[in-house]
Amino acid sequence: MARITFSGRRLLRAAQRFEEGLLDKVSDIIYETARLIQAQAKALAPVDDGSLSDSIEMKMLGKYNAVVSVGVHYAVNICRPCW
């Protein structure tokens, strides 16, 4: 049976590298998810002159926050779900 040993310093460095890589992946996933939401919203937006679709934007607010917004004032009336 193989025996693996780590010193405290080596283990700490390995854990820090793992954490940094993991947090980078989380940030990438948030970015890609927001882009998918933006693309889907644009695809589902009705097109008259294209201003509704053109106003749908995605913005990253830091590494772990993203916002997809609609800039035209009449979007609430068009995009309201039918309950």
pLDDT at 12: 79
52 burial (CB, 10 Å; 0-12 / 13-18 / 19+) is buried
Phi, psi of 82 (to 5 degrees): -90, 100
Dump pLDDT digits (tens) for 22-39.
Answer: 888 999 999 999 999 999
Dump pLDDT digits (tens) for 73-82.
Answer: 887 777 556 5
Could you give the CA distance from residue 39 to residue 53 in angstroms, rounded to a whole number? 9
What pTM did the predictor assign?
0.72
